[in-house]
Structure 1
Amino acid sequence: MTLLKRINGNQRLMRLVGGGSVGVLIKGSAAGLSLAMFAALAWVTDTESFGVIGFCFSLATLLAVAGSFGQRMMSLKDAAIARDTSENTRLTLIGQSSTMIVALGTLLFSLLLLPARDMGIIDLDLTVFVAMAGLAVTLALAENTVHFFRGYRSIAFALIPRDILWRLSVIAVCMIALIASFTVPTTPALWVLSLPLLGLICAQLLSEPALRDGSHIGDLISEGRRRVRNGLPFWGTSMIQTVSGPVLAPVILGVMMSPDAVGPFFAAFRIALVLDLFTLAAGMVVAPLVAKGHANSQYEDMQASLRYSVLLVSAATLICFLIIVFFGENILALMNPDFTSAAPALTVLGLGFLIAVLCGPVPNIMELAGLENLLFKRLIWFNLACLVVLVPATQHFGMMGAAVCSAGLRAAVHITLLFTVKSHLRIDPSIFSLWHKAK
């Protein structure tokens, strides 16, 4: 009854609902189109080819982060500062040097994997490997471009090419192939993923007058060196957060098992990611409130905002989790009837996301409250432990072993960080805060 009284007519809750609905619209469109894009790919490829695509996409994601050298967050921050101070020459140098770094860096890391391919550790044909490397460079350029334009242009201009137009383009190509009853081989499918995105990103970059201006080659190289050096802390954090169970597991499965096992797991992972949608949407609203509350020591207001935020997010995520539990097999069958074997793994992955959501946005809180170094150390230890367990678990138990490790990592990290936040900041961002006595 006390909980219902808190909810009924609560103005803070209404503001969160209003702001969160905008976030859900933005993230929901991208998440829905992403799921539709991979579903369309599954319809025009066979099970083995989709498994190889899932392996290559996960590996390309890792390579894109490794080759970025921390330029993503640096580009966002530096572009915002340069625009605020009307330093157009500086803005040009930031955009051109960061683009050069992520392209060359990702290509370098891709070439470093060639010996592993030659030794048979990465079982990919040369044409597939080249297409995977092209996809990695494209993903790196797209992510850096999004962050760069978010620094001083509108969110719509920054996000629509990658989050909306790219996915619609891939879906359109797949639909044409489906109507023509044409099965798309692995290598062309990877190029279908990368070329439309590369074209959109190039058009986006060339449309910006600041990036069309020429820069002295000496200044470009000097700026590039400085940015690589200063971007290493951002690079370390992004690598640790990316090289986690769900992203790494398809790569481990691809190295140790057949593509037939990777495809169902990759499909299950993409579906489970929908559970993270509401957390991302709520973060758009709550993050500035947390930053402001911590800076002004307004912990009671921060606690109140987090209390109602976790209520909304947990309720929505629980509904989606129940849909996965009861209809997960049917959802997987829509992508490919052979993927129904991943239904138990999908439930386990969903449970990991649900537990993390119930703990609240603890990693973001730590970043915004000056506990980023502690967060970095915790992420290192947990991800190393997960990696040590993930390999034998995948080897002996297949996709279920990978799912348990991935979900366990996510749950364990958030539970541990929850106790850290409660200890250091004296606030409780979890669902259990709803039953605490209001101050």
Structure 2
Amino acid sequence: MKMLRKLPLGKLKSSRGAILVVGLRILGAIFTYLNVILLARWLDGTDYGIFTLILSTATLAGFVTRFGTEIAIVRFLGMYRAQGKPALAEGVVRTSLKITLVASLIVALVFTLVVSSTSELSDRLWLYSIAAFLLYPAFTQNEVLSAILRSFGVNFAALAPKDILWRGSLLALAISGIWAGLTSPDVLMLVIAGSGIVITLLCFWQFLLQKRVRSQFAMAALKPEYDIPTWRKSALPLWFLLIARNLARTADVLIVGALLSVREAGIYFAVSRTAELLGFFLSSLNLLVGPAVARGHAKNDIQGVQRTLSLAALFLFVSTLGGMIVIAVFGKWILNVMGSEFANAYVPLIIMSVGQCINVFTGSSGVILNMTGNEAANMRILVSTMIFSLVLLAILATSYGLLGAAWASAIGMTTWNLGLWLAAKRLTPYEPSWIGIFKLAAKG
């Protein structure tokens, strides 16, 4: 509790907030990539493949059990605070926390029962059960609590627990296991169980902190008001949207593992996460752009919102071009560091990196749709392109292996983001890409 009292909770200025968020995301990306590289070297191929599959299923379970609340919270907290309706803001927070916790525990129980009845998986029942009951609820609650804290400008406490501390614990636990001379399966158990305990404790700290933040904004003491029909109408499309988006990001690993092998799933995971480094600035800035768009759009400040979008998009365009050059030049060396079995994946890495460039160059298109009441359009585009991408992945991976999977990923990413960009231009008054800087300059 002393830590809570000492933490400064004043809302950050936008520029300082942007620097903090980007800095945290940079550190998070570093830890993420160190985990990808070092665990690929330290665990044997099968155990590393199991590790990637556990993280993929935990991430997917988190999206399923959040029901779109993490985006709905950002949207409605921004809107209700701008409109002076704190009781409704309190209601959306309490509702989101309760339903997501219950849902995540139910999914963890179902997953454990499925594993126990599956002969191919039951020999590691303890590993999968620990992952389910620690990682599933924690991944769910972390994102909901993070959304609440970000809505109030408390960006460090929103992002650091998972991006920095939890990812750092993966490395620390793996190093401890290697130093102690544990076998690869035992190191994997240590990493999953230990990191699950860490992120659960961090979520409890975030929960206490967001209660204090809400009390400072005269929310926690209020009798909450509920507008369930409105929240459901917004959250359900967002829920399907997030599930589809996560399926597009994690189902590919599961499909590669099913069609090819667990080892190749590990290689594909490492390559895709390397390519995704190009998009981390976009995901970082979206954490700030989302609340800014929600507040500005509610106030009809179209020019202010466009200025935010255009400056962010210009920065993303320049930084991503630089990142693509780095991957093109040093990609082979990076893959060799992971191990000899990764060395032949350079061409898939370049293909998937190009897809990530298209993702970044189209800007915060999806965020704009979500924060302006057009989440249904976002969902339709994502679901249609996801189905197309996964079917293409199954066809190309079966015929051409890892190279075919990379092409399917890049084509799907490009189709999806071009669709979002065109929809944002058609349905909103904003230009989400770097082209918007010219629109902004023309208006002075």
Decide: shared fold, TM above 0.5: yes
Q: Residue 239 of structure 1 corresponds to which residue in structure 2?
A: 243
Q: Residue 49 of structure 1 corresponds to which residue in structure 2?
A: 47
CA distance in 2 between partners of 1:288 and 1:69 (Å): 19
- How far is 1:128 from its partner? 3.4
- How far is 1:66 from its partner? 2.7
- How far is 1:64 from its partner? 3.3
Q: 1:127 aligns with which of 99, 123, 146?
A: 123
Q: Residue 100 of structure 1 corresponds to which residue in structure 2?
A: 102
In structure 2, the residue corresponding to 1:431 is in which secondary structure? coil
In structure 1, the residue corresponding to 2:123 is in which secondary structure? helix
CA distance in 1 between partners of 2:313 and 2:89 (Å): 41
Q: Residue 400 of structure 1 corresponds to which residue in structure 2?
A: 403
Structure 1, unaligned stretches of length 5 or more? 1-14, 119-123, 213-222
Q: Is the 8 A contact 1:314 1:431 kept in 2?
A: yes
CA distance in 1 between partners of 2:165 and 2:353 (Å): 28
Q: Deviations over 1:324-359 (max 9, x none)?
A: 111112112222222112221111111111011111
Q: Residue 8 of structure 1 corresponds to which residue in structure 2?
A: none
Determine what percentage of the aligned residue pairs are the same residue.
22
> Structure 1 residues 156 and 35 mapped into 2: Cα distance closer, same or farther (>3 Å)?
same
1:144 corresponds to 2:115 = no
CA distance in 2 between partners of 1:133 and 1:367 (Å): 35
1:241-256 correspondence runs (5 A) = 241-244=245-248, 246-256=249-259
Q: Is the 8 A contact 2:174 2:190 kept in 1?
A: no
In structure 2, the residue corresponding to 1:243 is in which secondary structure? helix
Greater mean alpha carbon deviation, residues 383-392 or residues 61-70: 61-70
Q: Is the 8 A contact 2:17 2:155 kept in 1?
A: no
Structure 2, unaligned stretches of length 5 or more? 1-12, 212-225
- How far is 1:172 from its partner? 1.4
Greater mean alpha carbon deviation, residues 79-88 or residues 350-359: 79-88
Q: Residue 35 of structure 2 corresponds to which residue in structure 1?
A: 37
Q: Residue 355 of structure 1 corresponds to which residue in structure 2?
A: 358
In structure 2, the residue corresponding to 1:125 is in which secondary structure? helix
1:191-202 correspondence runs (5 A) = 191-202=190-201
Q: Is the 8 A contact 2:310 2:433 kept in 1?
A: yes
Q: Residue 7 of structure 1 corresponds to which residue in structure 2?
A: none
Q: Residue 275 of structure 1 corresponds to which residue in structure 2?
A: 278
- How far is 1:141 from its partner? 1.6
- How far is 1:255 from its partner? 0.8
Q: Residue 442 of structure 2 corresponds to which residue in structure 1?
A: 438
- The alignment covers a number of residue pairs equal to 405
Q: Is the 8 A contact 1:47 1:263 kept in 2?
A: yes
CA distance in 2 between partners of 1:17 and 1:319 (Å): 23
TM-score (norm 2): 0.78
> Structure 1 residues 29 and 373 mapped into 2: Cα distance closer, same or farther (>3 Å)?
same
- How far is 1:250 from its partner? 1.0
TM-score (norm 1): 0.79
CA distance in 2 between partners of 1:49 and 1:330 (Å): 24
Greater mean alpha carbon deviation, residues 88-97 or residues 256-265: 88-97
> Structure 1 residues 411 and 37 mapped into 2: Cα distance closer, same or farther (>3 Å)?
same
Q: Deviations over 1:169-192 (max 9, x none)?
A: 22112223444565422x651551
CA distance in 2 between partners of 1:352 and 1:336 (Å): 25
Q: Residue 380 of structure 2 corresponds to which residue in structure 1?
A: 377
- How far is 1:254 from its partner? 0.8
CA distance in 2 between partners of 1:334 and 1:267 (Å): 12
1:330 corresponds to 2:333 = yes
Q: CA RMSD in A?
A: 3.7
- How far is 1:24 from its partner? 1.1
CA distance in 2 between partners of 1:378 and 1:23 (Å): 28
Instruction: Give the aligned residue type for 1:196.
Output: S
Q: Deviations over 1:367-417 (max 9, x none)?
A: 112211111111111111112221111111112211111121111111122
Q: Is the 8 A contact 1:88 1:210 kept in 2?
A: no
Instruction: Give the aligned residue type for 2:51.
Output: I
- How far is 1:316 from its partner? 0.9
Q: Is the 8 A contact 1:71 1:144 kept in 2?
A: no
Greater mean alpha carbon deviation, residues 230-239 or residues 32-41: 230-239
1:39-118 correspondence runs (5 A) = 39-70=37-68, 72=70, 84-85=86-87, 95=97, 98-109=100-111, 111-112=113-114, 117-118=118-119
Q: Residue 164 of structure 1 corresponds to which residue in structure 2?
A: 164
CA distance in 2 between partners of 1:369 and 1:91 (Å): 20
